[in-house]
Structure formats: C-alpha cells, structure tokens
Amino acid sequence: MDMNYFTIFALSFTIALSGALAPGPLLAAVISKSASHGAKTGPLFILGHALVELAMVTLIVLGFAQFMNHPVVLKAVALSGAAILVYFGISLMASLKTASLEPDACRMRSGNLALMGVTMSLSNPYWSIWWLTIGMGLVLAAQKRGIIGIAVFFLGHILADLGWYSFISFSMSRSARRMNERLYRILLAACAAMLTGFGACFALYALTGSAGAPIGLR
C-alpha cells in the first residue's frame, strides 16, 4: 500500500482517535487526576504516552517488534499490566477519605503525571497487541515514504491522542470548579473501579485467553 503524506496523516489520525475514544486505563487515569491537577493533566499524560509509542515505532522500524509478538511475552505483559492496574485502582480507592479539591491537596509534579502516562500505556496489554498488529502494518506502510513518512504517521497519531485527552482534562478542570467534595470522591471511586475492573479483565484474558475481555486501547 503506497500512500502520500496526506493519506498517511489522515489515516493515522483517524485510527488513533478511534482508539483514544474507547474507554481504557489511560482515560480513567486522566479523568481521576484532571479535577485536582487541571487542564495540564491530559497533555502531560500524553507526553509520557508519546515517549512509549515513539519507542515502539522505533522497535518496529528496526525489526525488533516481531520478537515481542509471542504468546508467552504477550501473556506476561497482560499479567504484569493487570497487577499494575489493580494496584492503582486499590490505591485510588484507599485515598478517597483524604481526597480533596483544594489547590494544595494531593498535588503531583508534572514529571509524575507524565510518568503515569508511561505506566498506564505499558500496563494495558491491548496497547501492545494493537502496535504489534495494526500499528505495525501502518508503520511499515508509512516507512515506504522514508523517515518523513514515519514522522508524518507519528505526528498524526499523537495529535489525535493529544487533542482528545487535552479536551478531557480541560473539561474536567472546568467542571471541578462546580464540583463538591462528595461528587469528586464519587468520581474517583468510579475511576478506581474502572482501573481495578480493567486489571481483573486483563488478568482473566491472560490466564484463560478469553476473547470476551474488553478492548480498551487507551
């Protein structure tokens, strides 16, 4: 499949946006942090997310990704990711009693928000599966246009993520101005349940190979 730069960008942006819109661990984490950390949350999460995705694109271009596409490796990724998500979910649930919307409460450094973007990406086994299947095909198609084709593909992919999650964090930060402590804690509880639920489903998928596990791309 030989594509021009515009087609590469449009296809990359559209497919990435469809994945970003699907509920997943990254979305739950962004929602849970945006109310207290503001509109910067989404962009910082995507900064970490982009670094991991850049590493994956590099592995694909260098030909190393095929070695990761092995049932044992994918199962190990799923189980490790499941454990991380359950841990974050339980930790978030445990913090409900002290959670606050006060400006100085539960503040997290910008670097830590970006690091959470890395963690939430790597903890989702469907993220790895997507890149080792659909993503690999798109990268190899873009590679026919050389390094510029790959750069255009990556730009389209990341701009879709950045646009959507910036919108989410901005919307949540504006809503937080009208949110009371009780509603905020209910929101956090829902996000904690989502993270724990995704972790449990990923673990079930890894242990049983169940095709019914939910696919949260982000």
Per residue of the chain (218 residues), give pLDDT as tens. Answer: 568 999 999 999 999 998 888 778 898 889 888 888 889 999 999 999 999 999 999 999 988 776 766 777 777 877 888 888 888 889 888 877 776 666 544 556 667 899 999 999 988 888 888 888 888 889 989 999 999 999 999 999 999 999 999 999 999 888 876 777 777 788 888 888 888 988 888 888 777 765 444 445 56
How far is CA 188 from its chain centroid? 18
pTM: 0.80
Task: Report yes or no on 37 lying in a domain.
Answer: yes
Domain tally for the chain?
A: 1
Question: What is the distance between the alpha carbons of residues 18 and 141, in angstroms, rounded to a whole number?
Answer: 19
Task: Report yes or no on 213 lying in a domain.
Answer: no
User: What is the per-residue pLDDT for 212?
Assistant: 44
The CB-side HSE value for 22 (13 A sphere, CA atoms) comes to 15
User: What is the per-residue pLDDT for 129?
Assistant: 80
Which residues lie below 8 Å from residue 189, measured CB to CB, with a gap of 6+? 93, 96
Which helix (H) or strand (E) is 17 found in, with range? Answer: helix 5-21
Which helix (H) or strand (E) is 67 found in, with range? Answer: helix 65-68
Contact 77, 66 (CB under 8 A): no
**Beta-carbon neighbour count of residue 107 at 10 Å?**
10
Supply 55's token pair.
Answer: 């590493």
Task: Report yes or no on 173 lying in a domain.
Answer: yes
Task: Report yes or no on 82 lying in a domain.
Answer: yes
Q: How many helices (H) does the chain have, and how many strands (E)?
A: 10, 0
Question: What is the distance between the alpha carbons of residues 38 and 27, in angstroms, rounded to a whole number?
Answer: 15
Name the region of 106 (left: φ>0; alpha: ψ -120 to 50; beta: rest). left
Contact 3, 11 (CB under 8 A): yes
Task: Report yes or no on 23 lying in a domain.
Answer: yes
Contact 162, 43 (CB under 8 A): yes
Task: Report yes or no on 218 lying in a domain.
Answer: no
Helix axes 146-176, 25-37, angle to 10 degrees: 50
Supply 191's token pair.
Answer: 């996000």
Task: Report yes or no on 217 lying in a domain.
Answer: no
- DSSP states of 130-151 as a string? HIIIIIHHHHHHHHTTHHHHHH
Q: What domain range is 136 assigned to?
A: 5-208
Give the ranges where 22-40 is alpha helix by DSSP (H).
25-37
Number of residues assigned to the chain: 218
